Amino acid sequence: MGAESGTVPMTMIQALRSAMDVMLDRDPGVVIFGEDVGYFGGVFRCTEGLQKKYGTSRVFDTPISESGIVGAAVGMGAYGLRPVVEIQFADYFYPATDQIVSEVARLRYRSAGEFIAPLTIRMPCGGGIYGGQTHSQSPEAFFTHVCGLRTVMPSNPYDAKGLLIASIECDDPVIFLEPKRLYNGPFDGHHERPVVPWSQHPRGEVPEGHYTVPLESAAVQRAGSELTVLTYGTMVYVSEAAAQESGVDAEIIDLRSLWPLDLDTVVESVKKTGRCVVVHEATRTSGFGAELAALVQEHCFYHLEAPIERVTGWDTPYPHAQEWAYFPGPDRVAAGFRRVLEK
Amino acid sequence: MGAESGTVPMTMIQALRSAMDVMLDRDPGVVIFGEDVGYFGGVFRCTEGLQKKYGTSRVFDTPISESGIVGAAVGMGAYGLRPVVEIQFADYFYPATDQIVSEVARLRYRSAGEFIAPLTIRMPCGGGIYGGQTHSQSPEAFFTHVCGLRTVMPSNPYDAKGLLIASIECDDPVIFLEPKRLYNGPFDGHHERPVVPWSQHPRGEVPEGHYTVPLESAAVQRAGSELTVLTYGTMVYVSEAAAQESGVDAEIIDLRSLWPLDLDTVVESVKKTGRCVVVHEATRTSGFGAELAALVQEHCFYHLEAPIERVTGWDTPYPHAQEWAYFPGPDRVAAGFRRVLEK
Amino acid sequence: MSDHQPLRLHVPEPTGRPGEHTDFSYLHLSSAGEIRRPPVDSAAADTSDLVFALIRVLDDEGRAVGPWDPGLPPERLKAGLRAMMKTRVFDARMQIAQRQKKISFYMQSLGEEAVSVAHALALGPGDMCFPTYRQQGLLMAREVPLVDLICQLLSNERDPLKGRQLPVLYSVRKAGFFSASGNLATQMPQAVGWAMASAIQGDTKIASGWIGDGSTAEADFHTALTFAHVYRAPVIINVVNNQWAISTFQAIAGGEGTTFAARGVGAGIASLRVDGNDFLAVYSASRWAAERARSNLGPTLIEWVTYRAGAHSTSDDPTKYRPADDWAHFPLGDPIERLKRHLTGIGAWSDRQHEDLKKELEAEIGVAQKEAESYGSLADGHVHSAASMFEDVYKEMPAHLRRQRQRLGV
Amino acid sequence: MSDHQPLRLHVPEPTGRPGEHTDFSYLHLSSAGEIRRPPVDSAAADTSDLVFALIRVLDDEGRAVGPWDPGLPPERLKAGLRAMMKTRVFDARMQIAQRQKKISFYMQSLGEEAVSVAHALALGPGDMCFPTYRQQGLLMAREVPLVDLICQLLSNERDPLKGRQLPVLYSVRKAGFFSASGNLATQMPQAVGWAMASAIQGDTKIASGWIGDGSTAEADFHTALTFAHVYRAPVIINVVNNQWAISTFQAIAGGEGTTFAARGVGAGIASLRVDGNDFLAVYSASRWAAERARSNLGPTLIEWVTYRAGAHSTSDDPTKYRPADDWAHFPLGDPIERLKRHLTGIGAWSDRQHEDLKKELEAEIGVAQKEAESYGSLADGHVHSAASMFEDVYKEMPAHLRRQRQRLGV
Ligand SMILES: Cc1ncc(C[n+]2csc(CCOP(=O)(O)OP(=O)(O)O)c2C)c(N)n1
Ligand SMILES: Cc1ncc(C[n+]2csc(CCOP(=O)(O)OP(=O)(O)O)c2C)c(N)n1
Ligand SMILES: [Mg+2]
Ligand SMILES: [Mg+2]
């Protein structure tokens, strides 16, 4: 897991690219493809320069067909390759659902291990960029309901690279969600303020070589005593801002791996604080926050001093014009803190 | 809501067929289509005889394309028809995910009410018939995470007909899940015992004419005082058997409408009993039980005397040979009862 | 088997990249007037030759020639020219408004205006189009009030879609313009379904679905072809082959060595491949297809060969992946210039009239823009209320959404 | 537009329903030897005529005629006959075992044995097939141990798939047989992806994907065609047109007025339409396609015209929707009878040998069945442990599955 070489400042985009670069270099079985990822380098430029460096057989553009991208990757995985594919926006994974649920997730099981699909399926997710309902979704809950998949969401460049390498090396299929609002800097929900770049953030300092951040390990983003925040992706920073602005001494846990989950870290923290707020951007009902709440009440029942609070996106499509009324910003998160503390 | 005419004994299949018959007759905008539903009458015979009665323009076979079935239905809905479509098994809805999530669920919203998709999408779900992983799934949690959809699952012929008519008449899109293990009789999980037919069950007595069972209304299947069981579909009977066999005085709530949910009935019961067991056949993680647990702990926190217990399918694909080790039968449900009572 | 060479992966490349000149010979053109016009009741298989040809009416001198000349009166042509020019002026203005940060995002249809405008003129009232984000020409041809459109783009308080959709994803039911989706290709089976509904009801209205070359790779394109063919749905399937799908060339979508029209014939659908920058050809082919549909003869697929002259969207920079001056070399030219030349040639139009019309349109659009901007914009916060965000998820607001709205305090 | 008749919905019907005689003229047959055999390096478009023809080698007298005669030595033919007969005997036995409730479910391939058997013989070792549930012929031709297969069907303790899959959804990697899925069509883009991988790695192995006529309507069929074409993947796309998809006739899948092979050409893929009950034609067309694939000439789509002689599955009763004696009238006959006739005609086979072989196969399968049954069955509860249910979900069992296994107490 240790880094092989020195560190340099990287944005999340650069960190992801660096992870793919490292893996393309180390493993001839790694191939990268998706819509616009080849010559152009991806609409978010995550794969820029990789086709030039590794050739069109290793990094290439695909037809606009998410089921084809994933389906072809399954076949390649069965052959023995290790495809890393991009879905241009998480909002567009739906055409690939059958391949993901019925094939990727179940291939090892149904063939009793004869065939595996060790794919990494990258997709930018989340809102805050005025993308409207088809460029803003956070569909992680779907994936966590599908046994056989791993679901990962990094919140900073260091983790992004380390988790992406770990995902590519993993023999299980990994859904790798990238909070696009974090691509260029941490975002605390104050959209009216200037963007802070990753170069000013400690986790923007990234080793150039190979290293991994283990899957199934959560990180304590901020230690605290009054309540536990379970969150991931963009909401890590929003929760931090909420803690700071409200003066609540929140312990913020960045789950990083949504499923399988580092339950121990979660349970330990909630047992300590006795209160829990779950924060995510996805719609509330049957969101991953529901699973977290169900687990926490199951494992920490006798330690809980207040109901677990969920601060989430509303149960509506992600609207374009009312983006900031939809986005669970620091005020809403802080209000959630207050509610669990008042009880 | 009152029935127009006398009652006759019906299986769930007959009740569903009767609902479609009634609606085809009353509303010239109702059309029915899906794989094998036309000439043949459906692999479970739910639409038998309807093509003959209403003609091939109203009831017809489709190509094997779930996205086409749903996508065409959206266009018909936009035209002004009221399509009732069948997905042959719930396990096969995945190719239609994009149409369901991005189109059916959001059309009213994104067009600000200019266009609606008042579809009813029927699909048999659940296991217990040795169908293996692709004829046994219960994917309800997916749908409940998608705002704009209604998700309904009846547990008996009376409700099946009344809810199906209500769904067809509803201007919102409805995912109508039919627990196939209940088609011919209530099933309590004792697969080794002979099948009980609906003709021996009071809810197998079904009015011949038009009536509705309102959406968003749960039913108390069995009143009780020791704990509340939140369940639906096949698990209603398994929970009843568990109560009977364990001697636990469980209050069993048949949710019927999963989402939007009759939360009042749920909360009232849990406040009364102070204990709650959620039972479903679907895989556990991020299943609909997670949402139920999250809601119950939120709304009944100070009344809960034990953690909410989830008794569910395991987080594995539905195996063929180990079906009864997978299926949450009466013993497992009763063990769940004991766990919440012991705490 | 060991005597075989190693296999290798073929990855198609465009014939021109930045700094090069595109070799457009891959397009396989026909000359104007060259291609036969079969009877509308032809069997699908009898159009097999047409999918590798290119139906054209306007020759290099702007003359209308051959069997596909629709013989339209000059007034109709001028109406078409006007709608095309209006589309182009509108696009240019909105591009600027986006750069001025008045609107958040924009997608123009520069260079492919004829396809939607001439098609719209060939349809009847009540026919329903299922568009993508690049068919604003339909709206211009159908004279949808500009203020409504600009309010949608501004996401302001008068946005008919209540600020819910990204700019350009219009919905204008009364103009036969179905709600545009951000998810590609989904509208195609819907168009077929709408057409099936019309047939089920014994109506006389037809549907027209739109899809880009790149998006034909999506599953729903296939689904639409299958359903349209099986039920002989009264639908026109328009494939706008503008050569590009964001940064990928049409060969990446499967255009190499075949055509998109050929997919239609294979699926049992009568199919045409048409010069999409030739207003007369577009009108004429659209009429042919509409006539088929309305006569219970079933669907038609039309591949419109055109060129996406501008960037994919305001988020895109095409000079990164194709020659900057590519459009100037595109052999099918500019649809507005070509129709102008024709009209001038027949003595029905002049440079002067053209300039005047352009100014008139600029003014008209300017006035509309001004009015729309007076209702605010996303940038200045004059948008539909946060409370409205919870509406229209369902017909009536369920309890959980009322609770959520309450929690938001609106 | 008001001068138009009301629209109406066309819903295709088969030409024969229970109690009637099917009019098989819809099939468009060619005579044996009639159809040209183009060079393997033909462009896709140059196969346009072949998709409406029917490649046949065996004539009505069982003689091998024309350019597609592969000229196989009698020993190879006899091996093929044996594998076809083995498939049929196996199917019949397993049908009975299902009726005896020894196995829970079964799907036979009666009447279409030539398609998979002859194809398997035309492939090389290491080539990978992506089958549906009706390609047991591939396994028979590749001599997979019968006991393993029957254990899968019995879902018993020796089921190589640990009881996880419905009977017939085999996975036999070492025989180049990819894990069959219960979800239709998903294997097609996977076959293409496998072929692309082989090309990426500079390997010489090719893939062969299988799909039924009905399932071509699924999106993944289109996806597979697109990807195969774009990347010139070394893959064979086999469409088994056995006329039925459960209760729906092939016209409901889009076969009316066109062919499934035509979809391939439209997509830019060299395509053939072949008599699937003619062992020699199947072998020969398969070789042609394999040769193309292995020579970096790209994919081939082959529509195999055959007939699903039996029920869809043991849950189906076809007399409900088609004439009970339909197969007897199917103009392409029975593949086993036709090859037998050919072999007898060239003096390489006799009725006696045929009977002996059948008996031998009955015995061989009987022995295998007996052995397999000795390892138990789902019916008698001798299945893989409940604990094994939690394995292989992930490579290593995560904590939550360990907890769940514990809760089950196993
Ligand atoms: C399902 C889905 N996948 C990907 C995208 C992202 N996307 C938007 S437009 C586009 C290119 C479409 O190209 P084409 O169909 O040729 O239409 P054009 O833009 O040229 O008009 C892509 C990939 C999307 N909107 N939806
Ligand atoms: C996605 C999906 N939809 C529906 C089904 C149900 N189903 C199983 S087999 C079948 C018919 C397939 O027909 P065809 O492709 O012609 O193959 P054949 O059975 O004739 O070999 C159907 C509808 C399924 N397994 N998967
Ligand atoms: Mg395009
Ligand atoms: Mg078939």
* Amino acid, single-letter form, for residue C283: Y
**A106 phi/psi in degrees, rounded to 5:** -110, -5
Reading the block at residue A213, the tokens are: 């951040």
Helices and strands in chain D, H and E counts: 12, 7
**Are B94 and D155 inside 8 Å of each other by CB?**
no
**Are C389 and A133 inside 8 Å of each other by CB?**
no
| Closest residue to atom 13 of ligand 1, CA basis | C245
Please work out whether the CB of residue C246 comes within 6 Å of at least one atom of ligand 1: yes
Reading the block at residue C141, the tokens are: 């041809």
Looking at beta carbons, which residues of chain A come within 8 Å of C169? 132
**C341 phi/psi in degrees, rounded to 5:** -60, -40
Q: Is D292 on the interface with C (CB under 8 A)?
A: no
A69-120 pLDDT, tens digit each: 999 999 999 999 999 999 999 999 999 999 999 999 999 999 999 999 999 9
Between the CA of residue B246 and those of B222, B243, B336, C112, D68, what are the distances in Å? 15, 5, 11, 72, 72
Write out residues 228-267 of A within 8 Å (CB-CB) of D.
260-261, 263
Q: D29-379 belongs to which homologous superfamily?
A: Thiamin diphosphate (ThDP)-binding fold, Pyr/PP domains (3.40.50.970)
At A309, is the secondary structure helix, strand, or coil? strand
Q: How many CB atoms lie within 10 A of CB D296?
A: 17
Give the pLDDT score at D1.
Answer: 45
**C242 phi/psi in degrees, rounded to 5:** -100, 20
Task: For an interface test with C, give the residue of B24, B64, B67 to mutate (most C CBs within 10 A).
Answer: B67
Mean pLDDT of all residues in C19-43: 97
| Closest residue to atom 15 of ligand 1, CA basis | C212
Q: Which residues contact C7 (CB under 8 A, 6 or more apart)?
A: D198, D199, D202, D203, D204, D206, D234, D294, D296
At C30, is the secondary structure helix, strand, or coil? coil
Ligand nearest to the CA of A89: 1
| Closest residue to atom 7 of ligand 2, CA basis | D184
C187-232 pLDDT, tens digit each: 999 999 999 999 999 999 999 999 999 999 999 999 999 999 999 9
**Are D165 and B43 inside 8 Å of each other by CB?**
no
Question: Is residue C72 within 8 Å of C339, Cβ to Cβ?
Answer: no
Write out residues 35-94 of B within 8 Å (CB-CB) of C.
57-58, 62-63, 65, 67-68, 70-81
* pLDDT tops 70 at residue A5: no
Distance CA C382, CA C156 (A): 6
Q: Judge if ipTM > 0.95.
A: yes
Distance CA C164, CA C180 (A): 12
Ligand nearest to the CA of C134: 1
D249-301 pLDDT, tens digit each: 999 999 999 999 999 999 999 999 999 999 999 999 999 999 999 999 999 99
Q: Which atom of ligand 2 is nearest to the CA of D107?
A: 19
Confidence band for A4, pLDDT divided at 50, 70 and 90: low
* Amino acid, single-letter form, for residue B254: D
**Are D245 and B64 inside 8 Å of each other by CB?**
yes
* Amino acid, single-letter form, for residue A223: A
C-alpha D248 – ligand 4 centre gap (Å): 9
Confidence band for B1, pLDDT divided at 50, 70 and 90: very low
Give the pLDDT score at C1.
Answer: 45
Q: Is C166 on the interface with A (CB under 8 A)?
A: yes
Q: How many CB atoms lie within 10 A of CB A113?
A: 16
Least CB-CB distance to C163: which of A62, A316, A321?
A: A321
**D358 phi/psi in degrees, rounded to 5:** -60, -45
**Could you tell me which of D117, D300, D126, D130 has the C-alpha nearest to residue D208?**
D130
Task: For an interface test with B, give the residue of A70, A92, A94 to mutate (most B CBs within 10 A).
Answer: A94
Distance CA C94, CA C113 (A): 15
Q: Which atom of ligand 1 is nearest to the CA of C134?
A: 21
C-alpha C253 – ligand 3 centre gap (Å): 9
Write out residues 195-214 of C within 8 Å (CB-CB) of B.
195-201, 207
Q: Is D16 on the interface with B (CB under 8 A)?
A: no
For ligand 1, pick from A88, A99, A134 the residue to mutate: most ligand atoms within 8 Å of CB: A88
Strands (E) across chain B are located at: 7-9, 30-34, 59-61, 82-86, 120-125, 150-152, 174-179, 205-207, 219-222, 227-231, 250-254, 257-259, 276-283, 309-313
C-alpha D345 – ligand 2 centre gap (Å): 38
Its sign, for the CA torsion D104, B177, D220, C321, is: negative
| Closest residue to atom 11 of ligand 2, CA basis | D245
Confidence band for B5, pLDDT divided at 50, 70 and 90: low
Question: Is residue C81 within 8 Å of C343, Cβ to Cβ?
Answer: yes
Give the pLDDT score at A1.
Answer: 46
At C385, is the secondary structure helix, strand, or coil? coil
Its sign, for the CA torsion A264, A266, A271, A273, is: positive
Those chains having 3 or more beta-carbon pairs within 8 angstroms of chain C are: A, B, D
The DSSP bridge partners found for residue A257 are A152
Give the pLDDT score at A129.
Answer: 94
Its sign, for the CA torsion B225, B227, B229, B235, is: negative
For ligand 1, pick from C138, C246, C250 the residue to mutate: most ligand atoms within 8 Å of CB: C246
Active site residue B135: yes
* pLDDT tops 80 at residue B4: no
* pLDDT tops 80 at residue C3: no
Residue-wise pLDDT tens for chain D (410 aa)? Answer: 457 899 999 999 999 999 999 999 999 999 999 999 999 999 999 999 999 999 999 999 999 999 999 999 999 999 999 999 999 999 999 999 999 999 999 999 999 999 999 999 999 999 999 999 999 999 999 999 999 999 999 999 999 999 999 999 999 999 999 999 999 999 999 999 999 999 999 999 999 999 999 999 999 999 999 999 999 999 999 999 999 999 999 999 999 999 999 999 999 999 999 999 999 999 999 999 999 999 999 999 999 999 999 999 999 999 999 999 999 999 999 999 999 999 999 999 999 999 999 999 999 999 999 999 999 999 999 999 999 999 999 999 999 999 999 999 99
Mean pLDDT of all residues in A12-19: 98
Mean pLDDT of all residues in A267-290: 98
Looking at beta carbons, which residues of chain A come within 8 Å of C9? 56-57, 60
Question: pLDDT averaged over chain C?
Answer: 97
Question: Is residue B96 within 8 Å of B66, Cβ to Cβ?
Answer: yes
Q: Where exactly does CATH 3.40.50.970 map onto chain D?
A: 29-379
Give the pLDDT score at A343.
Answer: 81
Distance CA A71, CA A66 (A): 8
Q: How many CB atoms lie within 10 A of CB D366?
A: 12
Q: Which atom of ligand 1 is nearest to the CA of C240?
A: 21
Distance CA A144, CA D16 (A): 48
